[in-house]
Chain A
Amino acid sequence: DTEVTQTPKHLVMGMTNKKSLKCEQHMGHRAMYWYKQKAKKPPELMFVYSYEKLSINESVPSRFSPECPNSSLLNLHLHALQPEDSALYLCASSQDLGTGYKCTFGSGTRLTVV
């Protein structure tokens, strides 16, 4: 069982919808991440939060809006997405932000934009 929990596991949304992806971890990790993975491609970093503050935004379009309400939760708010945004969205966490820390991934949310 993964220690990073993501909900929902599957999501189908229209291009005019607003939805949110949720991620939760109770390992006391202080760094949390959103990755996007297209089929047969490696995960691509979207956002990094460290101590509940946005640390890295990899030039992600504004239709993706991250939020970190507390040290255990990470949300990704979606609005006006395009079909090409369909992908597996992965949340991950690590003990801290730095080169030596291991990332643990959640099981992902498979998003389909219609």
Chain B
Amino acid sequence: QKEVEQNSGPLSVPEGAIASLNCTYSDRVSQSFFWYRQYSGKSPELIMSIYSNGDKEDGRFTAQLNKASQYVSLLIRDSQPSDSATYLCAVNTRAQGGSQGNLIFGKGTKLSVKP
């Protein structure tokens, strides 16, 4: 069973702080990793994708991938109250015997940024 694990939180950080969200995955052949933000009652919104080891920065967001440790993280710098949402880690794994992959989601980490 391919799994994606996240701490459910809530993770509470003060405004302006760095929020660190973590995710581990079980399928060693996973190739693509995504972070989605989901506000309450809304649909998931893609905020970061990462495919190779190391860091990828986009504005206040940095995704980090370590395939050897099967670990992916998301850092949010200068956190704002508007960042308060559930952050879903998603891993795209290769289906057995095929080239196509399916997105497997973690349960999400609820982030609360306090003014």
Please list the residues of chain A having a beta carbon within 8 angstroms of any beta carbon in chain B: 2, 41-45, 48, 50, 55-56, 88, 90, 97-108, 110
Contacts and interface: CB of A to CB of B under 8 A. Distances in A.
Contact of A48 (B42, B102, B108): B102
Most buried by B among A2, A50, A103, A106: A103
Interface in B80-104: 88, 90, 92-94, 99-103
Contact of A108 (B43, B103, B108): B43
Given A99-B31, A99-B94, A43 B46 contact: no
A98 B94 CA distance: 8
A103 B51 contact: no
Contact of A100 (B32, B44, B106): B32
Contact of A102 (B31, B49, B100, B106): B49
B99 A98 contact: yes
Dominant secondary structure at the A interface: loop
Chain B interface residue bracket vs A: 20 to 34
Contacts, number: 61
B46 A102 contact: yes
Given A42-B105, A42-B107, A100-B92, A106 B100 contact: no
B106 to A, nearest CB: 6
Contacts of B102: 45, 48, 56
Which 6 A/B pairs are nearest by Cβ-Cβ distance? A42-B105, A99-B101, A99-B31, A105-B43, A97-B100, A99-B92
Most buried by B among A50, A98, A104: A98
Given A48-B102, A98-B99, A42 B49 contact: no
